[in-house]
Amino acid sequence: MTTTDDEWGLATRAVRTGHHRSAEGEHSEPIYTTSSFVFGSAAEAAARFAGDEAGNIYSRFTNPTVRIFEQRLAALEGGEACVATASGMAAILALCMGLMQAGDHLVSSRSVFGTTSVLFTKYLPRMGMAADFVPLTDLAAWERAIRPETRLLFLETPSNPLTEVADIRALAELAHDHGCLLAVDNCFCTPALQRPLELGADLVVHSATKFLDGQGRCVGGAVVGDAQRVGEEVFGVLRTAGPSMSPFNAWVFLKGLETLALRMRAHSDNALALARWLQRQPAVEQVFHPGLEEHPQYRLAQRQQSAGGGILSFRVKGGQPAAWRLIDATRLLSITANLGDTKSTITHPATTTHGRLSEEEKAASGIAPGLIRIAVGLEEVKDIQADLAPTLARL
């Protein structure tokens, strides 16, 4: 699981890293659909189980197709080790179980994926761990929330759906000053646009379900970091608890990674073009995308990400009725909460992804009734505009 091919650029790693062709000479990576592996002798079996000899044992924790995916993603993120998991949520659970124990505490951004906050508030306490939540961009609030037993700071940047950008370098310094680790969910940018480990973060988690796949086909996840914490501690959870990625899904994600750099550039270009167009529509009050000069963390985003990413949101005049009218009138965009697909998706956060929040919480975190999120896909921008324009003109 150690990174090789150090001199290669990102796109080359995305296409090549991790595949050591078998004796069959296959060009595309093989899918090893086998639960277990055969040993040459009793002594070899004993040596593998004891860890004295490298090699496959059982696909809960050693599968060659999954290993190619792990090596490739580790190489893209610039990490020593990667552990692939059955889903993004399994990655976050494995991270917490691997690096924390009863009595430990974590500080999380308030603007994280909804199920992540459920995991932190409902299920971590069952293991004796606790979590507190702070506004993503308020560095002083992060510092105030850190306690002697705090082990981990956890965030997503840009945030969903308002695309707020956190200063990864500053938060990594804060974490290290207090003896904590910084974990970044890099789902929205992917390593094609942002590499948190290079900015000082200790760990990266992914929902591979989103842009890494890129075509909405499979559910999967990963944790990336150093050889000790990820290669030993998180791997130990995978081996023992078994939230493993299937070899078939690993192969689909490998095919996704091969086009990642191209796709992320195209998603970002499309989203920025659509954001600028939305800014010119009279029915639109405000547009949120890190590539817009008006974005509050524009300079930070320019420094930290190589492009703005594929997610934007905007607020229409007329609140929820107007937002729903626009969503219901689309013929091209899919009404779904998923994101990171070639197909553009449109969502009303206040009544779906953020529906569990109280009215006060929604107001405090900017989830206005008129807010709409679009995860911009790879259709032509003019077709997305043509889909939205007639209804926008009548709001």
Q: Residue ranges of the alpha helices (H) in the chain?
A: 10-16, 42-50, 64-77, 88-99, 114-118, 139-145, 168-177, 190-193, 235-241, 247-258, 260-279, 298-304, 319-329, 359-364, 381-394
Q: What are the Cα distances from residue 147, in Å, to 107, 115, 144, 332?
A: 9, 24, 8, 49
CB of 277: closest distance to ligand PLP in angstroms? 25
Which residue do the tokens 């529509």 mark?
Answer: 281
Give whichever of 17 and 111 is closer to ligand PLP, judged by the CB atom.
Answer: 111
Q: Is 135 left (phi over 0), alpha (psi -120 to 50) or beta?
A: beta
CB of 323: closest distance to ligand PLP in angstroms? 21
Cβ pair 85, 96 in contact under 8 A:
no
From the list 40, 42, 41, 22, the residue with the least C-alpha distance to 32 is: 22
The tokens describing 383, both together, are 């077709």
CB of 23: closest distance to ligand PLP in angstroms? 35
CB of 88: closest distance to ligand PLP in angstroms? 2
Give whichever of 80 and 156 is closer to ligand PLP, judged by the CB atom.
Answer: 156
Give whichever of 19 and 373 is closer to ligand PLP, judged by the CB atom.
Answer: 373
CB of 236: closest distance to ligand PLP in angstroms? 21
CA–centroid distance for 5 within its chain: 24
CA distance 176 to 29: 39
CB of 288: closest distance to ligand PLP in angstroms? 16
Give whichever of 230 and 392 is closer to ligand PLP, judged by the CB atom.
Answer: 230
CB of 89: closest distance to ligand PLP in angstroms? 4
Give whichever of 247 and 340 is closer to ligand PLP, judged by the CB atom.
Answer: 340
In order, the DSSP letters of 92-118 are HHHHHHHH--TT-EEEEESSS-HHHHH
276: three-class secondary structure by DSSP: helix
Cβ pair 162, 149 in contact under 8 A:
no
Question: Which residue of this chain has its Cβ atom nearest to ligand PLP in the complex?
Answer: 88
Give whichever of 166 and 322 is closer to ligand PLP, judged by the CB atom.
Answer: 166
Give whichever of 211 and 235 is closer to ligand PLP, judged by the CB atom.
Answer: 211
Contacting residues toward ligand PLP, per CB under 6 A = 87-89, 113, 116, 156, 185, 187, 207, 209-210, 219, 221
